[in-house]
Chains A and B, each alone.
Chain A
Amino acid sequence: MELFNIFIKSAFIDNMVLAYFLGMCSYLAVSKTVNTAFGLGLAVIFVLGITMPINWVINEYLLGENGLFQTDLTFLRFILFIAVIASMVQLVEMIIEKVSPALYNSLGIFLPLITVNCAILGGSLFMVSREYNFGESVAFGLGGGFGWFLAIIAIAAIREKIKYSNVPPALRGLGMAFILTGLMGIAFMALMGIDPAVYTGTK
């Protein structure tokens, strides 16, 4: 139940994109159509879901005082976390290139840029500062990824529909996407502070 709460909270209430405004670049650039957005969303779920537990293990058993080297190596946290993320993204890139060349081409430079998607490094840092245990970090990773996935699908759907509206030409596309995201962010603020644990009776 605890894990379910973390999942719900990280997907909807603490949504990476709409509440914390993380991982914006690829979110804005790859949300022209629902199809590509779907592909990128899945890639992010995968990367977040898998790097979070790996980084948890690294942080706990390699960097910590009681870890493998018995010294405080936290100054290496950034480099190691990002290296794990980079290798996972590289893996995803190779898989997508093999399985779906069309998606690979439409994602372009934004596929490798998942590496520096701040939602992913941010997720790992949140995990450390919120002192999650292993199970919780898996739930948080999957939940955060799912939240990101939902957000990019939502904006892509809106952008597909808004094509038929009479938007000033210079505002079409990217400009409108920025303003829409701002509005969605404000709407999402209404969910802030809700604690699912209260409703499921675990608190």
Chain B
Amino acid sequence: MPDGRLHELLDGYRQAARGPRRRALLLALAIAALALLAGHVAEVDLPRLWEHLGGFLGYFDRITALESGGGRVWTDPAEWFWGLKKWGLLLADTLLIAYVGTALGAIGGFVLSFVAAANLVPNPWIRGTARRFLEFCRTVPDIVFALVFVIAFGLGPVPGVLAIAIHTMGALGKLFSEVVENIDRKPVEGAVAAGASWVAVVRFAALPQVLANFVSYALLRFEINVRQASVLGFVGAGGIGQDLIEAIRKFYYNDVSAILLLIIVTVMLIDFGTEKLRHRLIGAMERGA
């Protein structure tokens, strides 16, 4: 390419790039200013971070080094997972907490979703109240509910289940009501035209359309709730979190890594399983449609 033409093109490119570039620079400056302010409020100091970065990596070194001395934890799985039986039971309890919480929350969300759906409840006051209630339930973090419930119901898995159930009800109620609002009217009209009662319309025209979606959302929520249930024990609401917080606070390094590994593997397995299930559900839904 001749030099003159090249210069022309380059100048054109610089001209075009100048505006967006200046805006990007301004944005970067604004973000940097905000970050400095936030850093001041959050008591960040970089020397301390530098000093402790080694500490963080050292933490992973310590939790993977056998406490009895000699070698890494994986060279002696029997000692590493000495509490496998206890932790396995606690983990099963954690899954059960997540399951029962999801199930109760899904039932509540199922009922309220029909009240919050615009195409089924024309009264804006009832609908609005139901929606605000659901919004409240899903915006307050479940661990806050757990903190309050622990005081009301006493320590143990009951407050954990209820906290998860309330939060799940808020989240699923919203998703469910959106599904109900988006159903195809044609089957409904068909059922009405054939002389079906209201219950029959819901059962044979509305439910088949929404059920697969409902189950899919509930499974997704179960996945999230397993993670949540693993930390509810921090505030005394049952599950494996109780043992984990004790291990971290009391510096039982090997227990920390063992429990963390168990949680990570369980969460991954659950994610994998529910994803498979959801894909099958969606496949079945598309075949049915």
Our verdict on whether A and B bind, yes or no, reads no
